[in-house]
């Protein structure tokens, strides 16, 4: 019998706090400071200067979704992601009803800093909108 394991999704990025704030807004996640600290600011102040701002994380308040972890890396994004998140807003919808749900979510995310890349519309239940987050990481509204 297979053993189910918890997992987290890790993002390489330049500004972990900024990317974490974006994904908290997109998914309704929370960014709680590490245990023993009342705020991220308090945690950062306790770190050596070279470590400050090196990571952030957010979690699903219901405990169902995976933890998202954001780590600062020196190199910029150079190529398309090999793995990306699909934000599921059109599940069970088809045709114009699905398209309307996708477009509404796209409109909500654009002011947060998301970038619309392409509508992939098949008229049925496989349509999605390809997007990018605040640092250019690809994701889809599905």
Of 72, 103, 127, the last residue of a domain is 72
**42, containing H or E segment:** helix 40-45
The per-residue DSSP string of 49-97 comes to GGGTTSEEEEB-TTS-SPEEEEEE-SSPP-S--SS-EEE---TT--HHH
Of 30, 46, 72, the last residue of a domain is 72
The angle formed by the CA atoms of residues 132, 43 and 30, to the nearest 5 degrees, is 45
- Same domain for 65 and 12, yes or no, is yes
Structural domains counted in the chain:
2
Residue 110, domain extent: 85-141
Q: Is 41 contained in some domain?
A: yes
Instruction: Read off the tokens for 15.
Output: 């500004």
Q: Is 79 contained in some domain?
A: no
pLDDT of residue 20: 97
Q: Is 78 contained in some domain?
A: no
**For residue 138, what are the CA distances in angstroms to 11, 44, 117, 135?**
11, 28, 9, 9
pLDDT of residue 5: 84
What's the number of CA atoms in the CB half-sphere (13 Å) around residue 113?
A: 14
Tallying the residues shown for the chain, one arrives at 142
Of 72, 97, 121, the last residue of a domain is 72
pLDDT of residue 126: 85
- Same domain for 91 and 125, yes or no, is yes
pLDDT tens, the chain, 142 aa long: 788 788 999 999 999 999 999 999 999 999 999 999 999 999 999 999 999 999 999 999 999 999 999 999 999 888 888 899 999 999 999 999 999 999 999 999 999 999 999 999 887 778 999 999 999 999 999 9
pLDDT of residue 82: 87
pLDDT of residue 77: 86
- Same domain for 64 and 90, yes or no, is no
The residues facing 13 across adjacent strands are 72
CATH number, residue 47:
3.30.720
């Amino acid at each position: 019998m297979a053993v189910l394991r918890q997992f987290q999704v890790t993002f390489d990025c330049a500004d972990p706090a900024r990317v974490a704030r974006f994904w908290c807004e997109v998914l309704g996640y929370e960014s709680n400071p590490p245990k023993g600290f009342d705020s991220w600011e308090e945690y950062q102040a306790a770190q050596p200067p070279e470590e400050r701002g090196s990571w952030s994380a957010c979690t699903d308040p219901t405990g169902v979704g995976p933890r998202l972890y954001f780590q600062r890396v020196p190199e910029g994004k150079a190529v398309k992601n090999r793995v990306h998140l699909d934000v599921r807003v059109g599940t069970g919808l088809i045709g114009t009803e699905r398209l309307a749900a996708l477009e509404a979510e796209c409109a909500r995310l654009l002011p947060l800093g998301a970038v619309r890349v392409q509508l992939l519309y098949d008229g049925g239940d496989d349509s999605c909108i390809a997007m990018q987050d605040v640092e250019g990481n690809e994701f889809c509204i599905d």
